A and B are shown apart, each in its own frame.
Chain A
Amino acid sequence: MAGDFDVVATYKSLLYNSPELSMPVAAIQSLVELIKHSKATTMSEFMLSIKDASQQLKSSVRNSISLSAGCDLFLRFVTRNSHDVADFETWKKTLIVRGQSFVEKADACRYKIADLGVPFIKDGSVVLIHAHSRVVSLLLQKAAENHKRFKVFVTESSQTHGGIRSAKVLRAAGIPTTIILDAAVGYVIDKVDMVLVGAEGVVENGGLINQIGSYQMAIVAKAANKPFYAVAESYKFVRLFPLNQYDLPTYNADTLSFQELNVDYDPKINEDGTISAGSTSSTASPSKALSQTALHMKTSEDRASQGSNPLVDYTPPNYITLLFTDLGVLTPSGVSDELIKLYL
């Protein structure tokens, strides 16, 4: 194990420094850093250190699904290439180079996906999105750049205030955006033409793991006969197969348990007037609180109900119309096809 190198700290600083970085990519980057600093001299020691590090990363974060996806993918990549190794050092170097290129490609993923998704936004359409997803925002921005005229409803997603952040980004791009209550999804569904969400992870049967509230929207969309599209980079394909909502690794006995709420709960108001759910944690700036790390729930760590409310939910594949990925626009069963090709 690389004793001096703290992979978790690296990971966190990476996220802190580049808010646009997604969790899995940051994880992979930290693992690449680990390789750079690795003092392992044998293959097995090396593999062990990587596995150990990824385990640390996974357990350091409360919502670790996409992070797991990234770590598993990297591990898979390393294992696959570990057989024809002539010289250990050169191999490490190749790994580092490949890892870096992966990180760079990962960023480009989003643009690829945005290009794929733009044709689905038609002039005059109304899009409903959920909380804040960088890929979705990018896609909509691209659509706006292509001179499409459309409107957006975004759910507030009160715990993480992702909706507010989304609205900011989209309004800056000139897209008329309305923030709606999470509870008003059913109310607006008949006014929208499609629903678009991001993803924390895509599971083996093509189902979606995303921020809490996505499943609800999927059900409402299905009931209202509106298409439900998910946008996910391929490194978010995770080797999980939940049977139902409660079969996720993020589920524990505390979730949805009847705990006594903190009596003096009171949302903190930040300096700029935005409501942030308590930012006294390590995340210093409000923007940090609202960035992807919000999903780490650091922002609500001081909430009494922190442990007992789920952060993510699982949307079964039959509610999802299509998935926009960098591998193409896939149906949920096509995801399984890709995963099998990738992993098996």
Chain B
Amino acid sequence: MDPKKKTVGFVPDHDIGTADLPSPGSSNNNSAVNSPKSALSNTPDLSNSAAATSNIASPATTTAPRSISATGARSSYEPMKSSYEEQWGLTDRGSSSSSKAHKPASPRDGPGFPSKDQQGNQGGNKKDKSKRNSTISSTGGKEKTSGLGIQSNVVNASSTDGSQSGGLNPAGSSSAGGPPPAGGAGKAGGQRPSAPSQKSMTKAERNELQQRQKAEKAARLAAGLPASRAKAAQVLAQPNSGFSPNPSKSLATSFPGAEAEKAIAAAESTSQAKKRERLTKEMGLFAHLDPPKFANTASAPKDLHPAVVNVGLQMAQFKICGANARCVATLSAFRKAIQDYQTPPNTTLSRNMLTYLSPHISYLVSCRPMAVSMGNAIRYLKYEIGKNIEVPDEDARALFLEKIDNFIRDRITMADQVITSLGLQKIQDGDVILTYARSSVVQGLLLAAHEKGIKFKVIVVDSRPRFEGKQLLRALASAGIPCTYVLLTAIGHVMREVSKVILGAHSLLSNGALYSRAGTAVVAMSAHERKIPVIVCCETYKFSERVQLDSFVQNEIGNPDELVNDHNNNYGHSSTRCHDSVHGSGTGTGASAAKSGVLSGWKESRDLKLLNLLYDLTPSEFVTIVITEVGLIPCTSVPVILREFL
């Protein structure tokens, strides 16, 4: 491959000053011939051996490492400048590529963050950096060195093949480490010898570079190539690979060191890479919210109890969703952790328990933002632990286990039963009950009412992207309750015949507002409009002291790709949402991109952003009554319950 091309493709973004890079897009296009991979991947050309030499050979060349792998010479768009980006260093030039690479990478990227594009690689992989630099310098050209750098990494990677899967190879380890754009070794685009320092670029240019690199990578993945530039180049370089480049994604060209990249990239989850790339599509209005988190096993700190890691991953992939389910799963996992806990010397179980649990809790938060139910349960657990600090070890363990069991039994299981019995008073023969999405409490109540012999009908309202209502529909229909299933868009039409609306809650706030699955507010408002009573079933442990007036100040952003592909999201899946990673979002999206095509190119589209909010806020005036285990209360009495009972 023409080194020039490679370098061009490799460092399209910030090598503005590079002659080799006339323009990121163009260079990429040129290289497209060779390798349509998106991210700049190291082509095998750059000899790995060269890598060994100078480490920081081309620090200058390496512009501030972009934590996000360069997407290659995609047509860049003016990225949104948000404080988020600045905070996470997405746009900073960074003094040292490595540090830079690390910083931006860490918050967003979970462990095993796939090789960011070259940019990210440059800075990301500390270990590789030296190699990269060396290779870079060895190649001499700015871009080339980067390729070399990657090459060297690849060499390392290949040599440590065995450990790759564990992400333990140099490149991989970076991924394990998280922040470093572990990605393939090739990724370590770290030092683009030829790339001007990122400082010299404007923020816009840096963003552009980033976007390009990400786009390249995305294109590579979409085209089915390995994520890393090097590997992709390798694949493409092979004459008989039978790989037909996706013409729509003419991105980074072959890059020296592709083989290395490929090897490294194999250790990375490609879906992770894709997710990373999409993350830069932030909304200004929601910049204060955490971006969607993607956890995988490699990213978990090693000393966590596997049960907790398990729960964290399940939650991150929405295999466990729903406030009650998540809380019970969390508590059960903690129960196991406490059960298996061996007190270290010089401390007692109760004294050390909090320190022991903290990393577990942080890990769970890193998988998915903490639910109010989980938060309250954990707070209770911490309180109990703190209260019993003097209890001797054997008793303490049993005590904590008992507390957890009691919490689940009293505040969740029994509470649900009381709520069901109270709620039965409110369901009469002939009712047409409307419910939204899926709440475990509501499901229990409706099934109990049917068992009691009350004759009623149910309308289940559901919405994209999760279609949680399907699960509820299944349960109710199999019990023999006459059901209707509509999407949220039909709410105006069906509300006419509804006599009651029963909703579940993620949490109830102190100003009486209901924080629940996105779409609940619409349902409640429609019902209120027609003077239809809105019943909310909520256990008291979900009450929060927070006050919230709108859905913006606090919310959870889900994976925007869920909005893209209909096929992936609502087709024949179980009602629990299947996370993209299950299919490999890259391939999945890529495969269906051809079919659906409507939003599949959203990342590349300059002005298009996708927002997937998980929750919304229903004002208190839309809620008629709240059924809790302490009785039927108006929603404005939440602070009274908190005050009197909790």
Chain B residues with CB under 8 A of A333? 634, 636-637
Q: How many residues of B contact A (CB 8 A)?
A: 19
Chain B residues with CB under 8 A of A341? 640, 644
B533, B634, B641, B645: residue with the most chain A Cβ atoms closer than 10 Å = B634
Q: Report Cα–Cα, A327/B20, bound state, in Å.
A: 84
Query: Least Cβ distance of B66 to chain A in Å?
Result: 54
Q: Which of A188-244 contact B (CB under 8 A)?
A: 204-206, 239, 241, 243-244
B293 at the A/B interface (Cβ < 8 Å)?
Answer: no
Given contact pairs A239-B631, A317-B634, A336-B634, a sample of 18 additional A-B residue pairs in the complex whose CB atoms are under 8 Å apart: A204-B632, A204-B634, A205-B625, A206-B634, A241-B625, A243-B535, A243-B624, A243-B625, A244-B533, A247-B426, A333-B634, A333-B637, A336-B633, A336-B636, A340-B633, A340-B644, A341-B644, A344-B645
Q: Which residue of A has the minimal Cβ distance to B632?
A: A241
A318 at the A/B interface (Cβ < 8 Å)?
Answer: yes
B531 at the A/B interface (Cβ < 8 Å)?
Answer: yes
Chain B residues with CB under 8 A of A340? 630-631, 633, 637, 640-641, 644
Q: Which residue of B has the minimal Cβ distance to A316?
A: B624
Q: Which of B592-646 contact A (CB under 8 A)?
A: 621, 624-625, 630-634, 636-637, 640-641, 644-645
Q: Which of A247, A336, A343 is in CB contact (< 8 Å) with B637? A: A336
Q: Which residues of A contact B (CB under 8 A)?
A: 204-206, 239, 241, 243-244, 247, 317-318, 333, 336-337, 340-341, 343-344
Can you list 8 A-B pairs, Cβ within 8 angstroms, ordered by A? Answer: A204-B633, A241-B634, A244-B531, A318-B621, A333-B636, A337-B640, A340-B631, A340-B641
Check if A344 sits within 8 Å of B625, measured CB to CB.
no
Given A340-B641, A340-B644, A243:B533 Cβ within 8 A:
yes
Q: Which residue of B has the minimal Cβ distance to A343?
A: B631
B500 at the A/B interface (Cβ < 8 Å)?
Answer: yes
Check if A336 sits within 8 Å of B640, measured CB to CB.
yes
B533, B636, B644: residue with the most chain A Cβ atoms closer than 10 Å = B636
Q: Which residue of B has the minimal Cβ distance to A241?
A: B632
Check if B533 sits within 8 Å of A344, measured CB to CB.
no
**A-contact 0/1 string along B263-287, CB 8 Å cutoff:** 0000000000000000000000000
Chain B residues with CB under 8 A of A239? 631
Query: Least Cβ distance of B511 to chain A in Å?
Result: 11
Q: Report Cα–Cα, A341/B631, bound state, in Å.
A: 12
Given A205-B625, A243-B533, A344:B631 Cβ within 8 A:
yes
**A-contact 0/1 string along B405-422, CB 8 Å cutoff:** 000000000000000000
Chain B residues with CB under 8 A of A206? 634
Chain A residues with CB under 8 A of B531? 244
Query: Least Cβ distance of A83 to chain B in Å?
Result: 20
Chain A residues with CB under 8 A of B500? 243
Q: Report Cα–Cα, A205/B632, bound state, in Å.
A: 9
Q: Report Cα–Cα, A336/B637, bound state, in Å.
A: 7
Q: Report Cα–Cα, A241/B633, bound state, in Å.
A: 8
Chain B residues with CB under 8 A of A205? 625, 633-634
Chain B residues with CB under 8 A of A343? 631
Query: Least Cβ distance of B577 to chain A in Å?
Result: 33
Query: Least Cβ distance of A215 to chain B in Å?
Result: 12
Q: Which of B363-397 contact A (CB under 8 A)?
A: none
Q: What 9 A-B pairs come out closest when comparing CB atoms?
A: A243-B533, A205-B634, A241-B632, A333-B636, A336-B637, A337-B640, A336-B634, A340-B640, A244-B533
Q: How many A-B residue pairs have CB under 8 A?
A: 49
Query: Least Cβ distance of B288 to chain A in Å?
Result: 31
Q: Report Cα–Cα, A191/B617, bound state, in Å.
A: 41
Chain A residues with CB under 8 A of B644? 340-341, 344
A206, A243, A318: residue with the most chain B Cβ atoms closer than 10 Å = A243
Query: Least Cβ distance of A343 to chain B in Å?
Result: 8
Query: Least Cβ distance of B618 to chain A in Å?
Result: 16
Q: Report Cα–Cα, A317/B630, bound state, in Å.
A: 21
Q: Which residue of A has the minimal Cβ distance to B535?
A: A243
Q: Report Cα–Cα, A239/B533, bound state, in Å.
A: 18
Q: Report Cα–Cα, A244/B625, bound state, in Å.
A: 11
Check if A243 sits within 8 Å of B636, measured CB to CB.
no
Chain A residues with CB under 8 A of B630? 340, 344
Chain B residues with CB under 8 A of A243? 426, 500, 533, 535, 624-625
Query: Least Cβ distance of B532 to chain A in Å?
Result: 8
Chain A residues with CB under 8 A of B641? 340
Q: Report Cα–Cα, A239/B621, bound state, in Å.
A: 21
Chain A residues with CB under 8 A of B624? 243
Chain A residues with CB under 8 A of B621? 318
Q: Which residue of A has the minimal Cβ distance to B639?
A: A337
A241, A244, A317, A333: residue with the most chain B Cβ atoms closer than 10 Å = A241
Query: Least Cβ distance of B539 to chain A in Å?
Result: 15
Q: Report Cα–Cα, A161/B624, bound state, in Å.
A: 34
Chain B residues with CB under 8 A of A336? 633-634, 636-637, 640
Query: Least Cβ distance of B634 to chain A in Å?
Result: 4
Q: Which residue of A has the minimal Cβ distance to B426?
A: A243
Q: Report Cα–Cα, A206/B632, bound state, in Å.
A: 12
Query: Least Cβ distance of B622 to chain A in Å?
Result: 11
Chain A residues with CB under 8 A of B633? 204-205, 241, 336, 340
Q: Which residue of B has the minimal Cβ distance to A206?
A: B634
Q: Report Cα–Cα, A318/B632, bound state, in Å.
A: 17
Q: Report Cα–Cα, A344/B644, bound state, in Å.
A: 9
Q: Which residue of B has the minimal Cβ distance to A338?
A: B640
Q: Which residue of A has the minimal Cβ distance to B621?
A: A318
Q: Report Cα–Cα, A337/B642, bound state, in Å.
A: 11
Q: Report Cα–Cα, A336/B632, bound state, in Å.
A: 10
Query: Least Cβ distance of B12 to chain A in Å?
Result: 61
Q: Report Cα–Cα, A206/B500, bound state, in Å.
A: 21
Chain A residues with CB under 8 A of B640? 336-337, 340-341
Query: Least Cβ distance of B632 to chain A in Å?
Result: 4
Query: Least Cβ distance of B562 to chain A in Å?
Result: 36
Chain B residues with CB under 8 A of A241? 625, 632-634
**A-contact 0/1 string along B161-180, CB 8 Å cutoff:** 00000000000000000000
Query: Least Cβ distance of B232 to chain A in Å?
Result: 62
Q: Report Cα–Cα, A333/B531, bound state, in Å.
A: 20
Q: Which residue of B has the minimal Cβ distance to A243?
A: B533
Q: Report Cα–Cα, A18/B481, bound state, in Å.
A: 54
Q: Which of B535, B637, B645 is in CB contact (< 8 Å) with A337? A: B637
Chain A residues with CB under 8 A of B533? 243-244, 247
Q: Report Cα–Cα, A343/B217, bound state, in Å.
A: 64
Q: Report Cα–Cα, A318/B634, bound state, in Å.
A: 12
Query: Least Cβ distance of A40 to chain B in Å?
Result: 30
Q: Report Cα–Cα, A337/B633, bound state, in Å.
A: 9
Chain B residues with CB under 8 A of A318? 621
Q: Which of B510-539 contact A (CB under 8 A)?
A: 531, 533, 535
Q: Report Cα–Cα, A318/B637, bound state, in Å.
A: 15
Chain B residues with CB under 8 A of A317? 634
Q: Which residue of A has the minimal Cβ distance to B531?
A: A244
Q: Which residue of A has the minimal Cβ distance to B625?
A: A241
Q: Report Cα–Cα, A244/B640, bound state, in Å.
A: 23
Query: Least Cβ distance of A182 to chain B in Å?
Result: 23
B531, B631, B645: residue with the most chain A Cβ atoms closer than 10 Å = B631
Query: Least Cβ distance of A293 to chain B in Å?
Result: 30
Q: Report Cα–Cα, A336/B636, bound state, in Å.
A: 9
Chain A residues with CB under 8 A of B426? 243, 247
Q: Report Cα–Cα, A343/B632, bound state, in Å.
A: 12
Chain B residues with CB under 8 A of A344? 630-631, 644-645
Chain B residues with CB under 8 A of A337? 637, 640
Q: Which residue of A has the minimal Cβ distance to B624?
A: A243
Q: Report Cα–Cα, A337/B500, bound state, in Å.
A: 26
Q: Report Cα–Cα, A318/B531, bound state, in Å.
A: 13
Query: Least Cβ distance of B644 to chain A in Å?
Result: 6
Q: Which residue of B has the minimal Cβ distance to A244?
A: B533
Chain A residues with CB under 8 A of B535? 243
Q: Report Cα–Cα, A317/B623, bound state, in Å.
A: 12
Q: Which residue of A has the minimal Cβ distance to B645?
A: A344
Q: Report Cα–Cα, A317/B512, bound state, in Å.
A: 15
Query: Least Cβ distance of B51 to chain A in Å?
Result: 71
